Structure 1
Amino acid sequence: MRRPSKTTRRTAATASAALALALGATACGGPTAPASGGELSGQTVTVAGVWTGSEQKNFKKVLEAFTEKTGAKTVFVPSGDNVSTFVGSKIEGGNAPDVVMIPQVGVLQQFAKAGWLQPLSEEAARTAGSTLPPVWKDYGTVDGTYYGLYFKAAHKSTVWYAPDAFAQAGVDEPKSYADLLKAGRALSDSGRPAFAVAGEDGWTLTDWFENIYLSQAGPEKYDQLAQHKLPWTDASVVKALTTLGELFKDKQLVAGGAETALRTDFPSSVEQVFGPAPKAGMVYEGDFVGGVAKDQFGKKPGQDAKFFPFPAVDGGKAPVVSGGDAAVVLKSGKNGKAGMRLLEFLAGPEAAEVWAGAGGFLSPNTKVDFGAYGDDTTRSTARSLVAAGNSVRFDMSDQAPAAFGGTKGAGEWKLLQDFLRHPADPQGTAAKLEAEAAKAYGN
Structure 2
Amino acid sequence: MMRRRTTLLASCTALALALGATACGGGPVAAGGGGKSLSGQTITVAGVWSGSEQKNFQKVLDAFTEKTGAKTQFVSTGDNVSTVVGSKIEGGNAPDVVMVPQVGVLQQFAKKGWLKPLSKTTEQSVDTNYASVWKKYGSVDDTFYGLYFKAAHKSTVWYSPDALAQAGVKPPTTYDAMLKAGHTVSDSGLAAFSVAGQDGWTLTDWFENIYLSQAGPEKYDALAAHKLKWTDPTVVKALTTLGKLFKDKQLIAGGQKEALNTDFPGSVEKVFGPKPEAGMVYEGDFVAGVAKDQFGKKIGQDANFFPFPAVDGGKAPVVSGGDAAVVLKEGKNQKAAMTFLEYLATPEASAVWAEAGGFLSPNKKLDLASYGDDITRETAKSLIAAGDSVRFDMSDQAPAAFGGTKGAGEWKVLQDFLRDPSDPKGTAAELENAAAKAYQG
TMscore range, shorter length: over 0.9
Q: Which has the higher contact order (CA 8 A, sep 6+)?
A: 2
1:288 aligned residue (286, 289, 294): 286
In structure 2, runs of 5+ residues without a counterpart are: 9-33
Q: Hey, what does 2:3 align to over in structure 1?
A: 3
8 Å CA contact 2:217, 2:391 repeated in 1: yes
Q: Percent identity?
A: 76
SS in structure 2 at match of 1:282: strand
CA distance in 2, matches of 1:7, 1:400: 25
SS in structure 2 at match of 1:293: helix
SS in structure 2 at match of 1:95: coil
8 Å CA contact 2:7, 2:53 repeated in 1: no
2:370 aligned residue (350, 369, 372): 372
CA distance in 1, matches of 2:397, 2:236: 20
1:363 aligned residue (358, 361, 366): 361
2:346 aligned residue (348, 351, 355): 348
Distance apart, 1:336 and its partner CA: 1.3
Q: Aligned pair 1:234/2:232, yes or no?
A: yes
SS in structure 1 at match of 2:323: strand
Distance apart, 1:382 and its partner CA: 0.3
RMSD of aligned alpha carbons = 1.5
Q: Hey, what does 1:420 align to over in structure 2?
A: 418
Q: Hey, what does 1:271 align to over in structure 2?
A: 269
Q: Aligned pair 1:43/2:21, yes or no?
A: no
CA distance in 1, matches of 2:336, 2:328: 11
CA distance in 1, matches of 2:415, 2:120: 45
Deviations 1:267-320 (A, max 9, x none): 010011000011111000000101110111110111110100000000000000
What is the letter of the counterpart of residue 442 of structure 1?
Answer: Q
What is the letter of the counterpart of residue 383 of structure 1?
Answer: K
Q: Hey, what does 1:96 align to over in structure 2?
A: 94
SS in structure 2 at match of 1:150: strand
8 Å CA contact 2:2, 2:78 repeated in 1: no
8 Å CA contact 2:96, 2:331 repeated in 1: yes
Distance apart, 1:39 and its partner CA: 1.1
CA distance in 2, matches of 1:428, 1:339: 49
8 Å CA contact 2:5, 2:286 repeated in 1: no
Deviations 1:222-266 (A, max 9, x none): 000000000000000000000000100000111101110111000
Distance apart, 1:7 and its partner CA: 9.5
Q: Hey, what does 1:71 align to over in structure 2?
A: 69
CA distance in 1, matches of 2:137, 2:7: 15
Deviations 1:165-199 (A, max 9, x none): 11111111011100000011111111000111000
CA distance in 2, matches of 1:335, 1:55: 24
What is the letter of the counterpart of residue 39 of structure 2?
Answer: S
8 Å CA contact 1:194, 1:253 repeated in 2: yes
SS in structure 2 at match of 1:58: helix
Q: Hey, what does 2:439 align to over in structure 1?
A: 441
CA distance in 1, matches of 2:53, 2:291: 16
2:191 aligned residue (182, 190, 193): 193
CA distance in 2, matches of 1:108, 1:399: 10
Q: Hey, what does 2:135 align to over in structure 1?
A: 137
What is the letter of the counterpart of residue 94 of structure 2?
Answer: A
8 Å CA contact 1:321, 1:395 repeated in 2: yes
SS in structure 1 at match of 2:366: coil
SS in structure 2 at match of 1:297: coil
SS in structure 1 at match of 2:92: coil
1:160 aligned residue (158, 161, 172): 158
Q: Hey, what does 1:249 align to over in structure 2?
A: 247
SS in structure 2 at match of 1:327: strand
8 Å CA contact 1:162, 1:282 repeated in 2: yes
Q: Hey, what does 2:172 align to over in structure 1?
A: 174
Deviations 1:63-119 (A, max 9, x none): 011101110000000010111111111111111100000010000000000000000
Q: Hey, what does 1:16 align to over in structure 2?
A: none
CA distance in 2, matches of 1:74, 1:276: 42
Q: Aligned pair 1:215/2:213, yes or no?
A: yes
Q: Hey, what does 2:23 align to over in structure 1?
A: none
Structure-2 change in CA distance of 1:339 and 1:5 (3 Å): farther
8 Å CA contact 2:6, 2:290 repeated in 1: no
Q: Hey, what does 1:323 align to over in structure 2?
A: 321
Distance apart, 1:5 and its partner CA: 4.5
What is the letter of the counterpart of residue 401 of structure 1?
Answer: P
8 Å CA contact 1:160, 1:308 repeated in 2: yes
TM-score (norm 1): 0.92
8 Å CA contact 1:6, 1:103 repeated in 2: no
In structure 1, runs of 5+ residues without a counterpart are: 9-35
CA distance in 2, matches of 1:128, 1:68: 23
What is the letter of the counterpart of residue 391 of structure 2?
Answer: R
CA distance in 2, matches of 1:190, 1:6: 31
8 Å CA contact 1:46, 1:74 repeated in 2: yes
Distance apart, 1:128 and its partner CA: 1.2
What is the letter of the counterpart of residue 424 of structure 2?
Answer: P
CA distance in 2, matches of 1:6, 1:346: 22
Distance apart, 1:131 and its partner CA: 1.1
CA distance in 2, matches of 1:344, 1:3: 29
Q: Hey, what does 2:384 align to over in structure 1?
A: 386
Q: Is 164-173 or 382-391 further displaced after alignment?
A: 164-173
CA distance in 2, matches of 1:255, 1:275: 14
Structure-2 change in CA distance of 1:145 and 1:92 (3 Å): same
CA distance in 2, matches of 1:343, 1:156: 25
8 Å CA contact 2:7, 2:358 repeated in 1: no
